[in-house]
Structures are given as structure tokens and as C-alpha cells.
Amino acid sequence: MKSRRRRQPPTRPLGRVASHFTREGTAKTAYRTQAEAASAAQLAWTLSGVELNTYRCDYCFQWHIGKRYRDD
């Protein structure tokens, strides 16, 4: 009989590398230019109303999009 092991959820990277990965632990989509990332953010807002910002990743030095942080 095979032993059943629970799959551990992927650990979220810490520090500046965390901005390169999603909550699920996969790498975020990288865009070569800020304009490409801004276009993708605009498309996400148009399709689903999600407001995203663009930022330059310290890990891969390309552009990503992500949710804006709330102040409250």
C-alpha cells in the first residue's frame, strides 16, 4: 500500500524576489517594456475592472503588473 503524503503548498518567496512571483509560487508574466506592461494592465481593467500598476522587477529587470496596495 502506498503511503499518501500531503502536497505542501509552494512557499512564497520573501523580500524583493517576492515581487517576481504570484501567490501560487509561479513566476509572473514579464514584459519587456513599461508600455507593454501598461497595455496589459489597461486590458485587465477593461475586461474585469481590476486596477493594476506596473513596476520594474529587481529580480529579472523586466516589467510586471500587480495589484495596488490599499492604505486601509
On whether residue 47 sits in a domain, the answer given is: yes
What pLDDT, on a 0 to 100 scale, did the predictor assign at position 21? 80
Rounded mean pLDDT of 19-31? 84
What pLDDT, on a 0 to 100 scale, did the predictor assign at position 36? 97
On whether residue 13 sits in a domain, the answer given is: no
Domain count, the chain: 1
Mean pLDDT value across the chain: 80
36 near 42, Cβ under 8 Å? no
On whether residue 51 sits in a domain, the answer given is: yes
On whether residue 3 sits in a domain, the answer given is: no
Q: Which residue has the cell 520573501?
A: 14
Say if pTM beats, i.e. exceeds, 0.85: no
52 near 41, Cβ under 8 Å? yes
On whether residue 7 sits in a domain, the answer given is: no
pLDDT at 53 > cutoff 60: yes
Phi, psi (deg, nearest 5) at residue 43: -60, -40
On whether residue 11 sits in a domain, the answer given is: no
Split at pLDDT 50, 70, 90, the class of 9 is: low
| H or E segment to which residue 39 belongs | helix 34-48
Q: Which domain holds residue 37?
A: 26-67
